Amino acid sequence: MAQTSAHEMVGATEAPVTLARDRHKTQIAISDPTGPVARALTAAAAPHRVFLNLENITSRGVPSTYGVYINLPDDGKPEDHRHLYAGLLPSFGVAEASRRDEHSPGSGLNHALDITEIVEWLKAHNQWDPKRLSVTFVPRGKNPGEVPVQVGRASLHYKVGHRPPA
Amino acid sequence: MIRALGERLVWHPEWWALALCGGAWLALIGGASAAQSAVPFCGAVPDAGWTAAAGEATLMIAAMMLPLVLVPVRRTACASLWRRRHRAIAGFLLGYAATWLAALAVEAAPFLAAPPARWVPAAAFAAAALWEATPLKRRALVLCDRTMPLRPHGWRADLDCLRFGVLQGRSCVMSCWAVMLAPLVVAQHLPVMAGVAVLCATERYWPRRRPLLETAALAGAALCYLPAALA
């Protein structure tokens, strides 16, 4: 039976990030895929998707909302770069998932953002660095950063296979 | 057929943890059929030697405990770079097994000099049944789902895999310490090991709010050993 989809982790942050009042930028060093994803990518017109996984998101309370941007310039205003917006860092349920009790081990939440279109846009505009990706967390709302939130790891995954229907 | 199996193994890098488990069971059964004690470190260490005892304890951990960590083993592999995934699994298993070895050494320590007294098996099963019914056991079982971020490169990645193994091993010891005491102190090591392994796998993969079945099974085992204890 032929494999219809394959996925591979190609890079991740080296340290957890703590988000507070200011926006925070972190880097992911990207390795070339070496497993079946590499072979599938070389095949003609293999559809592939790129995911940013945000892992072990923890907080002691209900954190502020943060927008997640890919390769946002250091001096760039987020509202001027909506095409680089990947999605929101989840805040709902983070406090509960961070608490150790009889229902939860306290490891926090994991969340995946599909950044395929952003990566395609960056490639189309010659702004894609195959060795490095930056992830910027931009606080939103009235009182950002009152309750800090930690992201244990951000990792980049390639998935080769069929796109789900829109 | 072979190609399909190969593809399946590629996408399930945890396969060799399961293979280790199967190999450990075969070695234990082979050892028992050769009329040796399957787990000689209970009251027989001076004869068997410490190295042999550690080897047997490792077999016991591989046979009984590896099926319980297939999910975190797979997670460790999938959260690592492709070229590192088997190395990551090895690091995880090393940390996990080392934690269990230390725990078993502590549990077996009172019985190293002399075989356990006749009342010990019944007491061990009764203690396991009591522990099973406590909220602390429920919390320990939930902790077995704990995860941690793994760094992707170099010795830090190896260290994180090892630490994740220790973390999982600690949660597993907290959850299963009582029930793992029983195979150490009974004469019928292999059947009890098999029963305990099934019980541990049941509560890990089908957790319930009230573990009545597990508690009743352990209490029943305690009752079975009661006549020997009172004789």
Does residue A156 lie in a domain region?
no
Domain match, A54 and A42 both: no
Q: Is the pLDDT of residue B159 over 80?
A: yes
How high does pLDDT run on average in chain B?
88
Specify the higher pLDDT residue, B6 or A15. Answer: A15
pLDDT digits (tens, 9 = 90+) for A10-24: 999 999 999 988 899
Q: Is the pLDDT of residue B24 over 60?
A: yes
Domain match, A42 and A89 both: no
Domain match, A73 and A6 both: no
N- to C-terminal Cα separation, chain A:
26
What's the rounded mean pLDDT across residues B78-84?
Answer: 95
DSSP calls for B56-112: HHHHHHHHHHGGGGHHHHHHHHHTS-GGGHHHHHHHHHHHHHHHHHHHHHHHHGGGS
At B175, which amino acid appears? S
Q: Which residue of A has its CA nearest to B83?
A: A34
What's the rounded mean pLDDT across residues A66-89?
Answer: 94
Q: Is A30 on the interface with B (CB under 8 A)?
A: no
DSSP calls for chain A: ----EEEEEEEE-SS-EEE-SS-EEEEEEPPPP-SHHHHHHHSTT--EEEEEEEEEEEESS-PPPEEEEES--TT--GGG-GGGEEEEE--TTHHHHHS-SSS--S--EEEEEE-HHHHHHHHHTT---TTEEEEEEEE-SSSTTSS-EEEEEEEEEEEEEPPPP-
Which residues 121-160 of A are in CB contact (within 8 Å) with B?
Answer: 152-153, 155
Q: Is the pLDDT of residue A164 over 80?
A: no
Does residue A157 lie in a domain region?
no
Does residue A59 lie in a domain region?
yes
Query: Taking CB atoms and an 8 Å limit, are B142 and A105 in contact across chains?
Result: yes
Q: Is A59 on the interface with B (CB under 8 A)?
A: no
Q: Is the pLDDT of residue A45 over 90?
A: no
Domain match, A61 and A122 both: yes
Domain match, A36 and A82 both: no
What's the rounded mean pLDDT across residues A103-129?
Answer: 95
Cross-chain CB nearest to A102 (options B7, B138, B152): B138
Domains of chain B: total: 1
Does residue A2 lie in a domain region?
yes
Ranges B3-7, B12-16, B121-125: which has the least confidence: B3-7
**Residues in chain A within 8 Å Cβ distance of B163:** none
Domains of chain A: total: 2
Residue B199 structural domain:
2-230
* Rounded Cα gap, residues B160 and B215, in angstroms: 35
Query: Taking CB atoms and an 8 Å limit, are A34 and B80 in contact across chains?
Result: no
Complex-level ipTM beyond the 0.95 threshold = no
Ranges A23-27, A72-76, B21-25, B46-50: which has the least confidence: B46-50
What's the rounded mean pLDDT across residues B29-49?
Answer: 59
What's the rounded mean pLDDT across residues A132-149?
Answer: 88
* Rounded Cα gap, residues A20 and B172, in angstroms: 35
* Rounded Cα gap, residues B95 and B159, in angstroms: 9
What is the token pair recorded at A129?
A: 């660095």
Q: Is the pLDDT of residue B42 over 70?
A: no
Residue A3 structural domain:
1-10+28-49
pLDDT confidence of residue B49 = 67
What's the rounded mean pLDDT across residues B190-210?
Answer: 90
Domain match, A77 and A43 both: no
pLDDT confidence of residue B95 = 98
What's the rounded mean pLDDT across residues A62-90?
Answer: 93
